A = this chain, B = another copy of it.
């Protein structure tokens, strides 16, 4: 495993990862999955490392996933939720990051509503920054766990050449942006589908892509789903209604909701993904959320393994089973 050099100090976005690095994340996650299957799913790898989880937006799954990943590697975890922190007292982000470092943090997992905030943090913080989602910009660990899940479940473990549809509110989605990068890098034929107001501007992105990357934008659900190997439905933020971008949830569900009916257009073995939390009955029908080819809970489980892999690789420690030096 050590034949590929890992050169990243931070994980800010997926587009910084070289193809061999992407591959290394996947293979390290395989090792972590093996550890997760043990009676005691813990290794001493990051003993003495302090991982601070600083979330400026509410989250359960991502926050807990990082917490469990860090604890499985024997790191010490400090949780800071912005609403209860001095952030609300008007302190600048730079001062907050310096304070967290002075309190002993070696690694910083950060979610922020402003795109780019983790880049600012990385400029200041002398340890390792992991972006847990920033504004509409990026959600790199989500894209990596999605890639891991697709590799595990697509026929022949192949992503290249597969038609993968990202469905819904592309415009406001950091999950979509990071997935577009990793999936086109992996050679997938990526389709974006949603109402015109919510795919706005992505045509230009598609046109500007390098020739070897395949990205298509459509507002027609049938066109998108036809022959798809996998469909990733995005969460529809209820706030979009207020801003006039969508007429009503009901109309959205009728035109773009993933249902047993609409999914018939895809391949018979098409997978369904969702980053969660799901609005069942809106972007995804309850019977689809539950059905056998939905890999939603696998995504969550793989998320722990992928985050363990990333914490391990970024910390640059020794062998997984030994550990005990700070990153």
Contact = CB atoms under 8 A, between A and B. Distances in A.
A113 interface: no
A84 B81 CA distance: 9
Interface stretch (A101-109, A198-206, A218-226): A101-109
A50 interface: yes
Nearest to A286: B92
Contacts of A115: none
Nearest to A326: B39
Copy number in the complex reads 3
B104 A41 contact: yes
A58 interface: yes
B68 A297 contact: no
Interface stretch (A11-19, A178-186, A274-282): A274-282
Contact of A58 (B86, B277, B278): B86
A264 interface: no
A277 B90 contact: yes
Interface residues of A, number: 62
B68 A104 contact: yes
B58 A99 contact: no
Contacts of A90: 238, 277, 279
A143 B283 CA distance: 43
A99 B100 CA distance: 29
B40 A103 contact: no
Interface string A98-131: 1111111000000000000000000000000000
Given A41-B48, A76-B71, A64 B277 contact: no
Given A40-B326, A91-B276, A102-B300, 12 more contacts: A40-B48, A41-B48, A58-B86, A60-B87, A60-B96, A86-B276, A90-B238, A90-B277, A91-B279, A92-B280, A99-B276, A102-B304
